[in-house]
Amino acid sequence: MINLPRGTQDILPGESEKWQFIEQKFIELCHTYNYKEVRTPIFEHTELFQRGVGDTTDIVQREMYTFEDRGGRSITLRPEGTASVTRAFVQHKLHGSANQPQKLFYIGPMFRYERPQQGRMRQFVQFGVEALGSSDPAIDAEVISLAMSFYRSLGLKSLRLVLNSLGDQESRQKHRTALINHFKPYQAELCSDCQLRLEQNPLRVLDCKKDRDHIAMQNAPKILDYLNEESAQYFEQVKQYLAVMGVDYVVDPNLVRGLDYYNHTAFEIMSDAEGFGAITTLTGGGRYNGLVEDLGGPSTPGIGFAFSAERLLMALAAEGIDLPIDQALDCYLIAIGKDAERKSVELTHQLRSEGVQADKDYLSRKMKGQLKAADRQKAKFVIILGDQELEQEAAIIKNMGTGAQEVVKFDQLIRYIKQSL
């Protein structure tokens, strides 16, 4: 037997309906907010993520599925969606479109070579949005509220929106210098990753799991104290717009995010539900005003978020929320005898042509077995055909909900079922 690779999963019937439900809900909500779908390839040139996500991130340094294709090109299975969407934005010159900002959403599998655990997969499905072309703080609030509305619409309650600002280039530079000065005396005591991070990307030291309890972490310089006037004002306005929409948040000056492209607004939505597990982040997102330019386009602001379906479904389970999924089958046809069998094929086909969900027996089961099968499929109606019924050009229709039974002529059958459903 060959099993699936570690960190992946099969989504079987019974479970796949939940996926379809959340996908459909997300698409509907994106349309309500006027976001349009974009679909990009599952693999890209490796360089896209090196430049887009950042050379010093965990993702690029050790989590990418990178391989050489037969043409000798370095290819990577996408670890996230923002770099790809931005690449498409630049490549197709969407910045030249009359529709600005470009408000895009996507749903698709992403790949990261991580240590698998509950809520951390090697293949996972991200739902995300990206709004490119506006630096109005109202769009930051819009993007955040879209995520929150989506979770609320599914019934999630134990949510915490955590907000921070990473400031603009100037603010970040000042903070960077302060971080280096602060951590330098402790450099030898930090983990080997952080020793490197201190040189390359000191902000990421704040996010280190190993050094979390180091004494130097406690009073490390906070980015919010280094925001220049403009950045501070921007952050203030984002918070005001969130208040206007009634979206609650907490500010956490230690929220830094794991990807390099962020500036200004950074946010995560966490689940506080008991039993959700060690990983509490449901959604991560933020502003990335330099990314379009880094990928060869004109200077264009952008903001977005992504969450995985896997973590969302975990959160729903942790809060005991059952999605309203109708597993029932409209009708199941039962036939006894060769002629009835032939007629049931014809009727099943006719019902389906009329948009009625129908199924029948294909295992030549006895009457009792077919009834059992109809029951297992949660059939709303059972249509029974025997020799006697055939002679009368009719079938017995049993309403499985009420138990009521009626003989209905073949030429009335479809109308009868459609009216009863």
Chain residues that interact with ligand HAM, rule: CB under 6 A:
80-82, 112, 114, 119-121, 124, 126, 128, 130, 258-259, 281-286, 304-308, 310-311
Nearest to ligand HAM of 94, 383 (CB atom): 94
Nearest to ligand HAM of 114, 339 (CB atom): 114
Contacts of 59 (CB under 8 A, 6+ apart): 49, 53, 79, 80, 112, 258, 259
Nearest to ligand HAM of 280, 348 (CB atom): 280
Beta carbon of residue 419, minimum distance to ligand HAM (angstroms, whole number): 45
Nearest to ligand HAM of 119, 167 (CB atom): 119
Buried b (16+ CB within 10 A) or exposed e, 241-254: bbeeeebebeebee
* Cβ(63)–Cβ(113) below 8 Å: yes
Beta carbon of residue 302, minimum distance to ligand HAM (angstroms, whole number): 8
* Cβ(371)–Cβ(365) below 8 Å: no
**Alpha-carbon 92 to chain mean position:** 25
Nearest to ligand HAM of 43, 416 (CB atom): 43
Beta carbon of residue 281, minimum distance to ligand HAM (angstroms, whole number): 5
CA distance 124 to 121: 6
Please tell me what DSSP assigns to residue 222.
P
Task: Tell me the CA distances in angstroms from 236 to 60, 130, 145, 161, 239, one per residue in order.
Answer: 33, 22, 16, 16, 5
- Is the Cα dihedral 351, 353, 356, 362 positive or negative? positive
Specify the pairing of strand 379-385 against strand 329-335: parallel
The structure tokens listed for 58 are: 């965990």
Nearest to ligand HAM of 60, 395 (CB atom): 60
Nearest to ligand HAM of 197, 311 (CB atom): 311
Nearest to ligand HAM of 118, 399 (CB atom): 118
Beta carbon of residue 283, minimum distance to ligand HAM (angstroms, whole number): 5
Beta carbon of residue 161, minimum distance to ligand HAM (angstroms, whole number): 13
Beta carbon of residue 96, minimum distance to ligand HAM (angstroms, whole number): 22
Nearest to ligand HAM of 47, 225 (CB atom): 47
CA distance 273 to 180: 37
Beta carbon of residue 85, minimum distance to ligand HAM (angstroms, whole number): 8
Beta carbon of residue 7, minimum distance to ligand HAM (angstroms, whole number): 8
CA distance 106 to 85: 9
CA distance 142 to 127: 16
The structure tokens listed for 89 are: 């934005």
Task: Tell me the CA distances in angstroms from 388 to 254, 340, 384, 391, one per residue in order.
Answer: 77, 10, 11, 5
Beta carbon of residue 324, minimum distance to ligand HAM (angstroms, whole number): 23
* Cβ(187)–Cβ(136) below 8 Å: no
Residue pointed to by tokens 């501070």: 232
Beta carbon of residue 115, minimum distance to ligand HAM (angstroms, whole number): 9
Nearest to ligand HAM of 282, 351 (CB atom): 282
